[in-house]
Chains A and B, each alone.
Chain A
Amino acid sequence: MPQGLQSLKWPKEGNARVPYRVFSDPEIHRAERDRVFLGPTWQYLALENELPEAGDYKTTFLGETPVIVTRGDDGQIHAMVNRCAHRGNLVCLKQRGHAKDGLTCVYHAWRYDLAGNLTSIAFRRGVAGKGGMPESFKLEDHGLKKLRTDSFAGIVFGTLSSEAPPFAEYVGNDIGGRIGRVMRGKPKILGTTSQILHNNWKLYVENVKDTYHASLLHTFFTTFRISRLTTAGGVAIAESGAHHASYTYGEQRGDNATSDQLYSDIHSLHEDYRLRDPRFLDSLDEIGDGVTLQILSVFPNFVLQQIHNSIAVRLVLPKGPDETELQWTYIGFEDDDAAMTERRLQQANLVGPAGYVSMEDGAVGGFIQRAIPGAEEESSVIEMGGREHAPQPTRATEASVRGFWNAWRPLMGL
């Protein structure tokens, strides 16, 4: 079976076809690590106010590369690779913590300041004149590898690339504005969770960007007429295709009878199916623009979700070619009153690993992954709404999925 990038010929239909091999080939996965995750892309690191005090830190990943994020003595957020410059040990072991005196590697006690500069090493001059580092050894040559960081609407992104343009330029005005639309206040974390998905990370990202599936796979919404493709909405897509935001208006702007007819062949509609206690769906148009759902992605692996009043950031982390960790951080805002917090907690039932409209997303990527063996040289068909990736005033399209591949392929040289 052919492997690797060299032997892969992309189909002539362009972004409307995706060879299944890109989801399973270990050589492609290895190349992706360098070209996508360590390449000119911005990835989510933290919420700006998640690390309030100098010395606060958390650990995360740039793809599969471990990263430390700190609040430095200068009040700034810093990020560096979590790998000691000495022998490669993880410097920070905990998920989060406070290290006001800087970071110390447990292996040989090399010490770094909160910006990742090496400040001292144990027994540098040896013991009683014997051993120790040569005179030529310079601390300043051996710091932790530093990331560039950029804050946008209270969210900190990082990259190891010097080529990535500033984040605002990277994401563009349209999608950037839609991040700002949701992140209107100081975020307050309501809780976190994570899912282990048995599929390649790109299958989850495709799912996020796929506006076509939402009301078909997630029958909870359809059944209760909460969102159908026949509700008004659309998809905004960055020119490069890299980033997207799909949106839905709360009001059904077509008539229910036509909508029921369009769906009648797809699912049996439970006419008498009503929630006994629908309080958890009580939502408030807190932004005031009538958009009840917005799913937004920033290439390669960041998602910002507004589903009614449930707001969460999701980070999609590859764990090998066929496993992914999907991390969720649910937020409210510091000026939320108790009723608003309760509303967000109730609506969190819609999303996450047990979400009424998201549990299927945890499984469907794995279903595809399981179907790939034997089809490595075949391709998926992504032609709803044509072959381009321009924004469309409908969600019955796969334009933003094609946009993802339009951004991914040049990075991979495919």
Chain B
Amino acid sequence: MDLAEITRRLELETLYADYSACLDSDALERWPDFFTETCHYRVTSAENYEHGLPLGLIYATSQNMLRDRVSALRDANIYEPQRYRHLVSGIRIEQEDGGALDVTANFLVVRTMQDGGMILFAAGRYVDRIERAGAAWKFAKKIVVLDSRQIDTLLAIPL
């Protein structure tokens, strides 16, 4: 691995760490900034994904749709106070073409409710496409593939 490659790997590590920190620290307003303007974001189950079924529990085809999601979570939807803790590991570059990278990564998300109740809320992998945007990497596509089709109660904060 040459220095350029090591640098790129560290950039990816940083990207996923920043992404997780954003969601886990309730900085949701910054979350859409991790995406390109014409991004595709969806949350689905492995069952749907493997059968080629296109449904998303959250399904967005622009950065503005992500901003709308955040506005609704802040001002319209009702859900109990809760926080996530993302553990992301196993970041792999699956393919590279031009400046864009197809990247996958594993995640675990622990959800803690206001009364301290804590569950392993989600496990799965990100199937991403990232692009250079100036000095930063941005998600042009992020498919959150959940291992389980079951969601406990509701899915409010994005994954």
Contact = CB atoms under 8 A, between A and B. Distances in A.
Contact of A348 (B56, B68, B150, B155): B56
Given A219-B76, A359-B77, A360-B77, A191 B156 contact: no
B48 interface: yes
B154 to A, nearest CB: 4
A189 B51 CA distance: 11
B77 A352 contact: no
Contacts of B152: 195-196
A192 B62 CA distance: 23
Majority secondary structure of chain A interface residues (helix, strand, loop or mixed):
mixed
Interface in A319-339: 325, 330
A276 B79 CA distance: 23
Contacts of B44: 191
Contacts of B151: 193-196, 353-354, 362
Contacts of B61: 279, 346
Contacts of A345: 54-56, 59
Interface string A191-235: 111111110000000000000000001011001000000000000
A136 B149 CA distance: 47
A109 B48 CA distance: 32
B29 interface: no
A276 B67 contact: yes
Given A190-B55, A280-B65, A354-B57, A195 B75 contact: no
Contacts of B75: 223, 270, 273
Given A189-B53, A280-B65, A194 B149 contact: yes
B78 interface: yes
A126 B113 CA distance: 59
Contacts, number: 119
Is the interface on chain B under 10, 10 to 19, 20 to 34, or 35 or more residues?
35 or more
Contact of B153 (A277, A278, A279, A363): A363
B58 interface: yes
Chain B CB count within 10 A is highest, among A197, A345, A349, A354, for A354
B112 interface: no
Interface in A245-268: none
A348 B155 CA distance: 14
A75 B61 CA distance: 41
Interface in B36-66: 43-45, 47-48, 53-62, 64-65
Nearest to A360: B78
Interface in B70-97: 71-72, 75-80
Interface of A: 189-198, 217, 219-220, 223, 270, 273, 275-280, 325, 330, 341, 345-346, 348-349, 352-354, 356, 359-360, 362-363, 366
Given A193-B48, A360-B77, 20 more contacts: A192-B48, A193-B149, A194-B151, A196-B150, A198-B153, A220-B77, A223-B75, A270-B75, A276-B64, A277-B65, A278-B68, A325-B150, A346-B59, A349-B60, A353-B154, A354-B43, A354-B58, A356-B72, A359-B77, A363-B154
Interface of B: 43-45, 47-48, 53-62, 64-65, 67-68, 71-72, 75-80, 149-156
